[in-house]
Amino acid sequence: MHFDLTDLRLFVHIAEESNLTRGASRAALSPGAASARLKSLESQLDQRLFYRDSRGLTLTPPGEMLLRHARVILRQVEHVRSDMSGQGSDVTGHFRIFASTTAITEVLPDVLARFMAERPQVSVDIQERNTREVIRGILDSAADIGVVAGPVSTTGLEARCFSTDRMVLVVPGAHALAWRPVIAFEECIQYPHIGLRDSTLSDFLIETMSNLNRRLDIRVQMGSFESMCRMIEAGVGAGLLPESAARRLARGTTLKVIELSDLWAVRERRVIYRELEALPACGRAFVDTLLESATETSSTR
């Protein structure tokens, strides 16, 4: 069985767009040529790769399997090309990171600034995803490296814990709990809360409330820690944030940061990947920089 890289790239583009015409455009092919290549690929595999209906294209189970393999193959081809063009050096190349909101706002800016200042010819594609999407992206080879926080299943992946952070309760200065330095989360359930939209933290809180047979009053959901804090300061409700973000955003405001006594409030930050040695040289160098930065930060505390 022979796989043409052009056909695999076309297949991935069509799968990501759920549309043959848009996928063909990304592959710089006409719709007719793309259709012929797709039919040839399906014939060679003796498998139907897409369901076709009025809404577009959706992957069949064999198509989903091929997509996972195709992404791995194409990313490895990119890494081989990058490493060979730089003769194995970590000062050139490209890699993609999927990261959670906390990682993008609190971890990556300083680490990437240091890493890229030393490697001006390296390019990095960073995309914000919730933790489930980060894990899935690494498993499917949609990204090379993931950075997440909190309890996650990394089955099938390699993972390194590089630091920890603590969840805290943030309240307005006039809040009934503002005088408390430490509190158990169950004590603040009765108050209205501000949530973080489409986040693993929100899912975790829903699960926690379900286990307690309680319901958390989420008054409004925001898209970032900054917007959460603005709502909290305005008196709309309280909110749970990572301590690193909460302390930074509370400076110069009337916000109060309260520690949580719950064991789950301490969360590990992890960097994940399918296989360290399969990363491009620049990707491995980034992992080293991330781990070194965390060690240096810990030693200065």
229 pLDDT more than 80: yes
Same fold, 90-163+267-299 and 165-266: yes
223 pLDDT more than 60: yes
Domain at 90-163+267-299: CATH code: 3.40.190.10
State the average pLDDT over residues 125-147.
90
76 pLDDT more than 60: yes
Predicted TM-score (pTM) of the model is 0.72
Residue 212 and residue 186 in contact, taking contact as beta carbons nearer than 8 Å: yes
Which has the minimum average pLDDT: 21-30, 91-100, 207-216? 207-216
Identify the pLDDT of residue 211: 78
Domain at 165-266: CATH code: 3.40.190.10
pLDDT digits (tens, 9 = 90+) for 192-208: 999 988 777 777 777 77
248 pLDDT more than 80: yes
Higher per-residue pLDDT: 212 or 187: 187
pLDDT digits (tens, 9 = 90+) for 170-192: 999 999 999 999 999 989 999 99
Work out the pLDDT band at 169, boundaries 50, 70, 90: very high
Identify the pLDDT of residue 158: 92
Domain positions in the chain are: 5-73, 90-163+267-299, 165-266
272 pLDDT more than 80: yes
pLDDT digits (tens, 9 = 90+) for 96-115: 999 988 889 889 999 999 99
From the candidate CATH numbers 2.60.120.10, 3.30.530.20, 1.20.1510.10, 1.10.10.10, the one assigned to the domain spanning 5-73? 1.10.10.10
Work out the pLDDT band at 83, boundaries 50, 70, 90: low
pLDDT > 70 fraction of the chain, expressed in percent and rounded: 94
Higher per-residue pLDDT: 240 or 153: 240
Mean pLDDT of the chain: 87
Work out the pLDDT band at 298, boundaries 50, 70, 90: low
State the average pLDDT over residues 223-243.
94
Nearest CA among 148, 160, 5 for reference residue 76: 5
**3-class SS string, the chain:** CCCCHHHHHHHHHHHHHCCHHHHHHHCCCCHHHHHHHHHHHHHHHCCCCEEEECCEEEECHHHHHHHHHHHHHHHHHHHHHHHHHCCCCCCEEEEEEEECHHHHHHHHHHHHHHHHHHCCEEEEEEEECCHHHHHHHHHCCCCCEEEEECCCCCCCCEEEEEEEEEEEEEECCCCCCCCCCEECHHHHCCCCEEEECCCHHHHHHHHHHHHCCCCCCEEEEECCHHHHHHHHHCCCCEEEEEHHHHHHHHCCCCCEEEEECCHHHEEEEEEEECCHHHCCHHHHHHHHHHHHHHHHHHHCC
